[in-house]
Amino acid sequence: MPITRSYLFVPGNRPERFDKALAAGADAVIIDLEDAVPEAEKDSARAAVQAWLSPEKAVLIRTNAAGSPAFRADLELCGHPGVAGIILPKAEALDDQITGAAKPIFPLIETAQGLWNALALAQTPGVQRLLFGSIDFQVDLGIAGEEELGFHRAQIVLVSRVAGILPPVDGVTTAINDDAQIRSDTLRAKRMGFGGKLCIHPKQLAAVHAGFAPAADEVAWAGRVRDAAAAAGGAAVAVDGKMVDRPVMLRAEEILAEATRRA
């Protein structure tokens, strides 16, 4: 089954956009009850989401932060059919209240403490993937640039692999109409080992999907590796002037499998 590449946010106080978000082509839709909803509208947004939910329209819910006044009610909402998982913002620890919800959990790493505790979060039963809230993380650490986040992104990828969960999901690109920027950010995330990206507008989806799909030259290379390895019958073999060993063959098979899934 293909790994989810795109997670599209839709504000929880805009129910007229829920069906449009589902139809936009994202791999997953996140109804946001946190940052997108003003404090005075938390209750009405939650009620609107509850009225709209159904098992036929599976979505993820970004709750308010654990410990906030709205969190308990948000968590109760997540028990309804149609909620496929819980996006937990500012995640730093997971208690029984959260893990007992019996839904897949997606902790958002948005603080220094969250990154410090990332391995414990990733190893908690029920956690499916880590998400990187890069903008909030920058604010928390006083980091101004994107390239300065390279170390922190690498830590999240490493922790996910050690914990044996799915590759993590990179943060949003604030540019909506700049396809080149979105594609560049997606390719950086892919190179670093991320498996998906958070999106804030349907216009971003095509570039994200293209960025995570194997490129034509990658697929061609993987095909040559597979053919050469098969013809060698276990003997040492070179492709494009480079020695092919088991890790290289495994990478080639991963590329071909992903290309087949996305075909």
Render 33-68 in DSSP notation, one character per residue: SSTTS-GGGHHHHHHHHHHH--TTS-EEEEPPPTTS
How many domains in the chain?
A: 2
Q: The CATH number of the domain where 43 resides is what? A: 3.20.20.60
- The rounded Cα 182 to chain-centroid distance in angstroms is 15
Residue 52 CB contacts under 8 Å (≥ 6 apart), including other chains:
15, 18
The arithmetic mean of pLDDT across residues 128-155, rounded, is: 95
Whether residues 45 and 141 fall in one domain? yes
- Per-residue confidence at 243, pLDDT binned at 50, 70, 90? confident
Tell me: pLDDT of 263 over 60.
no
pLDDT of residue 234: 67
**Global confidence as pTM:** 0.88
Contact by Cβ (8 Å): 10, 30: yes
Residues 135 and 234 in one domain: no
Does residue 1 belong to any structural domain of this protein? no
Select from 228, 131, 232 the least CA-distant residue to 189.
Answer: 131
- How many CA atoms within 13 Å lie on the side-chain side of 142? 0
Tens of pLDDT along 52-83?
Answer: 999 999 999 999 999 999 999 999 999 999 99
Upper half-sphere CA count for residue 204 (Cβ side, 13 Å): 24
Quote the domain boundaries for residue 246: 216-262
- DSSP-derived 3-state class of residue 239: strand
The reply to whether 203 and 128 lie within a common domain is yes
